[in-house]
Amino acid sequence: MAGSGTLSAFRLPPLPTIREIIKLFRLQAAKQLSQNFLLDLRLTDKIVKKAGNLTDAYVYEVGPGPGGITRSILNANVAELLVVEKDSRFIPGLQMLSDAAPGKLRIVHGDVLTFKVERAFPESLKRQWEDEPPNVHIIGNLPFNVSTPLIIKWLENVSCRDGPFIYGRTQMMLTFQKEVAERLTANTGSKQRSRLSIMAQYLCNVQHIFTIPGQAFVPKPEVDVGVVHFTPLVQPRIEQPFKLVEKVVQNAFQFRRKYCYRGLGMLFPEVERVESTGKLLELADVDPTLRPTQLSVSHFKSLCDVYRKMCDEDPLLFAYNFREELKQNKSKNQEKEDDQEKHRL
């Protein structure tokens, strides 16, 4: 493991370019793994610079691939860089980087969705949640189909203060499809406002730092890419369990063009829907005719607090799922129709 407190700035020695590494190790992008590489080291330097001061930091890079961002992180004078890469073809190229930065780069051939970073760095890095963020950073340019489920998982980790957030308010710099980056950071009332906006913003300070045009990647993806920075908030803006917030938010956005009472109503069984939805909105002091996109995080805070009370009063409520009720009703109707058909015969 690398020691901290390096006095002189570290620079990687001259190395083959990323393009040469790709050729040398035959690292053609695998389409089925949605691999798009950044070859321009000025861009990878920009991502790393915007992640904050990484001097003596412990950095976890997800999906290093041919190692463009990896090089920029190593040049940022970090104490240690841990990379987790799923595709074994990249390991020899990363090993070459590790040889060029002795004791600084740790390579794991694994899956970021299951890797336990909470066991990877020294205990001494841990900070109290209320303190300044620890000198631990997550950086990554992952395929879009991995980055969205991963951020949801990590947001849940933020709310439980576990996983990568066992060290404190670990900061993250991640790339997303531009539309997803816009949803993550969308303000109340904007067209992009969605479930992701609320889930990210109630737990973190989220900033869309800059956009990378698709043509900067090899091969070029269909879309542009947004670079997003997350710092967990000392005090979450909604203080309820993640799953409860997720359920309220998911239901609210169920019918995004309709008034919010329509989607929120789906939190309740059909027999009590009108009455309970009215009670929820009245106690939360939320105008039923607002559209889901017009609801602020503090509206959601009130809705979650009231829904929590309603769940405490009715222990079966939280488990209620309107889709299951619909399915049951459908099969009951089908049985009825079958019976009527039999009697007619």
Q: How far is the CB of 100 from ligand SAM (least distance, A)?
A: 17
DSSP 220: P
Return the range that interacts with ligand SAM (CB under 6 A); candidates 141-149, 176-184, 277-285, 324-332: 141-149
Q: How far is the CB of 317 from ligand SAM (least distance, A)?
A: 36
Contact present, 234 and 129 (Cβ < 8 Å): yes
Tell me the C-alpha to C-alpha distance, in Å, between residue 147 and each of 150, 200, 226, 230, 235. 5, 13, 12, 13, 25
Q: Among 87, 179, 224, 305, which residue interacts with ligand SAM (rule: CB under 6 A)? A: 87
Rounded CA gap, 120 and 58, in Å?
Answer: 10
DSSP 292: G
Rounded CA gap, 221 and 205, in Å?
Answer: 28
Of 47, 54, 96, nearest to 69 (Cα)? Answer: 47
In the complex, residue closest to ligand SAM by CB: 63
Q: How far is the CB of 69 from ligand SAM (least distance, A)?
A: 5
Return the range that interacts with ligand SAM (CB under 6 A); candidates 106-114, 118-126, 165-173, 262-270: 106-114
Q: How far is the CB of 169 from ligand SAM (least distance, A)?
A: 24
Q: How far is the CB of 185 from ligand SAM (least distance, A)?
A: 21
Length of the chain: 345
Return the range that interacts with ligand SAM (CB under 6 A); candidates 66-74, 117-125, 190-198, 233-241: 66-74
Tell me the C-alpha to C-alpha distance, in Å, between residue 300 and each of 103, 160, 263. 47, 19, 13
Contact present, 11 and 101 (Cβ < 8 Å): no
* Subset of 206-235 contacting ligand SAM (CB under 6 A): none
Q: Among 80, 85, 156, 182, which residue interacts with ligand SAM (rule: CB under 6 A)? A: 85
Query: Which residue type sits at 269?
Result: P
Supply 118's token pair. Answer: 């909470």
Contact letters for ligand SAM, residues 172-191 (x by CB under 6 A): --------------------
Rounded CA gap, 306 and 295, in Å?
Answer: 15
Residue 61, CA atoms < 13 Å, CB-side half-sphere: 30
* Sign of the C-alpha dihedral computed for residues 149, 223, 175 and 236 taken in this order: negative
Q: Among 21, 22, 58, 63, which residue interacts with ligand SAM (rule: CB under 6 A)? A: 63
Supply 98's token pair. Answer: 């590790």
Burial 323-344 (b: 16+ CB within 10 A, else e): eeeeeeeeeeeeeeeeeeeeee
Rounded CA gap, 230 and 133, in Å?
Answer: 11
Contact letters for ligand SAM, residues 24-43 (x by CB under 6 A): ---------x-xxxx-----
Task: Verify binding: residue 20, ligand SAM, rule CB under 6 A.
Answer: no
Return the range that interacts with ligand SAM (CB under 6 A); candidates 2-10, 111-119, 202-210, 252-260: 111-119
Which CB, 19 or 332, lies closer to ligand SAM?
19
Q: How far is the CB of 131 from ligand SAM (least distance, A)?
A: 30
**260 backbone dihedrals φ, ψ, rounded to 5°:** -65, -25
Q: Is 85 annotated as a binding residue?
A: yes
Of 99, 40, 38, nearest to 65 (Cα)? Answer: 38
Which CB, 43 or 281, lies closer to ligand SAM?
43
Q: How far is the CB of 174 from ligand SAM (least distance, A)?
A: 11
Q: How far is the CB of 44 from ligand SAM (least distance, A)?
A: 7
Q: Where along the sequence are the contacts to ligand SAM (CB under 6 A)?
A: 33, 35-38, 63-66, 68-69, 84-87, 90, 111-113, 141-143, 146
- Residue numbering of the annotated binding site for S-adenosyl-L-methionine: 36, 38, 63, 85, 111, 141
